[in-house]
Amino acid sequence: MALKRPIPAIALALSTVAFLASAAWLATKIVSFNRDKLPARAHFMPLEAEHFRFGTREVHFTEDTSPTGQKVVVVSFGDDTLRLTETIPGGIEELPDLRRYEDWLRVYRFIIVKGMSAEDAVKAIDTDEVDDRLCVVVRNPPPGADHRTWGEVWSHGWTFDIYELTEDGEIVHERLAYPSKRRGSEPPKEGELIEGTWQYDAAMTSIPPVARPKPQFDNDASLHFGLDFFLSGVFGMIMILSAGFLFAPSRRTE
């Protein structure tokens, strides 16, 4: 039986094939881009134990008090010692591990890899399948801030002390500020966290998601495959319109 509306039917068939083919091709290109073109990213596994081993050295976290009465977390790493003064007092004291300092101090094992999901990365760290690194992140609110009210949301005044404990026994320290807002391709300011670095990821992992700055999206797949997205969208629109004309009810004639 001949079709009553051959043109919409042909258009629907062709546009459906074109849409599915273009969508599949686009998905393949995006997967390939994310696997091969995106820069390596850091994946973190938080540590809660106060005593553990990293490489050939023991790491110990103990508590002390400064001459002014402030709480101090003492990090012993092999023969070196690091004294970290509490920056946000009033944590959860009853917890028996590092979680009682999590308002201001976090400890992570991490790796920097390409083409690996966060779940696979954490599994690889946990099973020692890859060489990992160790860092301590201390969040510093602005001086004089009320740590439980406005000081907790005034993120632009925060700084971060980031300590990497290396396998050769060194402690590498950097103090970096929360990133300020940038317009377009404006470069980041000196002394600020830079998106795409492991230090940035470590700091952002240590704060609530609502306090993290919006991503810049300056290396996203959508910026590289604009024409492919456009063509796939056109084919999809033709497919929808053709289906509408083909299956629309017949006009009544009196």
206-244: burial string, b at 16+ Cβ within 10 Å, e else: bbeeebebeeeeeeebeeebeebeebbeebbebbeebbe
- Rounded CA-CA distance 16/38 in Å is 31
* pLDDT digits 0-9 by tens, 167-223: 889 999 999 999 988 776 677 788 999 988 999 999 999 988 777 776 654 555 555
Residue 158, burial from CB neighbour count under 10 angstroms (0-12, 13-18, 19+) = buried
pLDDT, tens digit, 9 for 90 and up, residues 69-112? 899 999 999 889 999 999 988 767 778 899 999 989 999 999 88
Domains of the chain, residue spans? 6-34+221-247, 42-211
Exposed / middle / buried, residue 106 (Cβ in 10 Å: 0-12, 13-18, 19+): buried
Classify residue 42 by burial, with Cβ atoms within 10 Å: 0-12, 13-18, 19+. buried
Alpha-carbon gap, residue 192 to 23, rounded angstroms: 40
Q: How many CB atoms neighbour CB 54 within 10 A?
A: 17
